[in-house]
Amino acid sequence: MTDLRGKTILFGVTGSIAAYKAADWVRSLVKEEARVNVVLTKAAERFVSALTFTALSGNATHRDMFADGPDEVMAHINLSREADALIIAPATAQTMAQLATGMADNLLSAVCLAARIPVLICPAMNTAMFHHLVTQENIRRLRQIGYSVLQPGSGDLACGEHGDGRLPEWNEAREALLSLLTPADLRGVRVLITAGPTREALDPARYLSNRSSGKMGYALARTAMRRGALVTLVSGPVALVDPPGVEVVRVNTAQEMTECVFERARLARVIVKAAAVADFTPAAPSEHKIKKSAETLQLECVKTTDILAELGRRKTERQVLVGFAAESRSHLEEGQRKLLEKNLDMIVVNDILGKDSGFDVNTNQVTIIERDQSFGLPVLSKESTADRIWDAVLRLLGSSEEKGQTV
C-alpha cells in the first residue's frame, strides 16, 4: 500500500498541548483523500475546538458517548465498524492508562474497547511522565494487547524541559498507519537495499558523481518495511529523510559502499542494488584544490569494484539478487545481458531519457526482466513501482523455497 486514499480513519484527540498538531494531521489525511472521523475527549476541547476538526475533516466531530442524535446512537460501536484504522494523537498518559486497564468511561476509550481494527497510539507528554514506571508498564501492556505505540520524539517540550515526550512527526505516524493497513507478506525477511549516488573526490573541493536522487531506493525501503521486512538501506549522499523503521547506513564513496554492502550481504535474504555507484574513481585525488592554470585537464581514473557482479558471484541459492540498470538505448538487450553476466534473479531497467522515468522525478516507468519472463510497467509513482517490484520478488522467494526443498 502506498497511500491512504479511500481509507476511513478514526482519529482520536486527547487533552495535550500537542492537540493543535492533530489538526494539521487531519488536514494531511484529507488531502490524501482519506475519510476522517474525529473523536474528541473533553480535555482535548480545552485546547482545540470541535468546530476546527469538523471544518478540516468535512465530517461531524464526535464528543459525547450519550448523544441522542440519529447519527450518534451507539457511536462507540458504529464508528469503529466503519473505519479501517484508529489513530490516537496526541495520546496522554491518562488515556493510555485507561486503555491499558480496559476503562471505557468516555467515547474514545469505549470506541477503542469495541474496535476490531488496527489501533495506532502516538504519545505526547512531559518527559518525566513518559519515563515513569507506570507509563512504561502501560505502554508494554498496550503493545501486548495488540496496539501499536510509537516512540515519542525527543526535544524541547512545552513545559520548558528537554527530553522524550514530543508528539511523533506526521511522516512517522503515516508510515506506521500504512504498515498497519498493508499485508505483511515480507514479514521477517531481511532485505538489503542500496540507493543514491557515490562521490569520488577529485580534490578537496570537487568530486565526480552522477544525477541519482536516491528516490527509487528509498521508495523500495519504505514499501518493504510496510510489508514487514527487516530493512537495511545503504545510502549514498542524498537529500532525503530516513524512512521510519529502516536501518540507514550512510556512505560517500564507491569503496565505502562496497565495504558496507559486502559486510551485510551474507545475512540478507533479498538484496536490491538500486544505487548508482561510480564506475570509475580518480587514481590520485589532489591533496590541494586544482587551479585553473591550463586550458585542459587530464584525469586518470581507475575502475571501481562492480558490486552487483561480485554479489552475483557470492550469491547463495536462497538469496534473491535484484539489480537496476539505467539505460538510454537498447534497454531490453542491455538488461538481459546484465541479468546473465552478473548472475541476477531479476533486473529493473528504466529509460533515463524519459521525462517520467529520468533522474530526480517522482514517477518511473520500468521493465522488469527475470530469467524466464519480462514485462513492462506503466508510468507509476516510485512507491507504486516499488510495490510491483516486491510483488515480483515474492514470486522469486517462493521459487527459491521450492528449489531448496527439492535439493
Catalytic positions, written as ranges = 159
Give the helix ranges, DSSP H, for 170-278.
170-181, 215-226, 254-265
Q: What per-residue string of b and e applies to 109-145 under the rule 16 or more CB within 10 Å gives b?
A: bbbbebbebbbbbbbbbbbeebeeeebeebbebbeee
Q: How far apart are CA 311 and CA 2, in angstroms?
A: 29
Contacts of 255 (CB under 8 A, 6+ apart): 281, 304, 305
Q: How far apart are CA 294 and CA 213, in angstroms?
A: 33
DSSP, res 13: E
Contact assessment for residue 200 and residue 278, using Cβ atoms and an 8 Å cutoff: yes
Q: How far apart are CA 300 and CA 285, in angstroms?
A: 10
Contact assessment for residue 245 and residue 164, using Cβ atoms and an 8 Å cutoff: no
Candidates 386, 347, 381; CA nearest to 364 is 381
Q: How far apart are CA 374 and CA 345, in angstroms?
A: 12
In angstroms, the Cα distances linking 157 to 4, 34, 162, 260 are 30, 30, 6, 37
In angstroms, the Cα distances linking 36 to 57, 75, 95 are 6, 15, 21
Q: How far apart are CA 96 and CA 130, in angstroms?
A: 11
- Radius of gyration, CA atoms only, the chain: 25
Candidates 10, 134, 24; CA nearest to 61 is 10
In angstroms, the Cα distances linking 153 to 125, 163, 167 are 10, 8, 6
Q: How far apart are CA 54 and CA 118, in angstroms?
A: 23
Nine-digit cell string for 209: 558523481
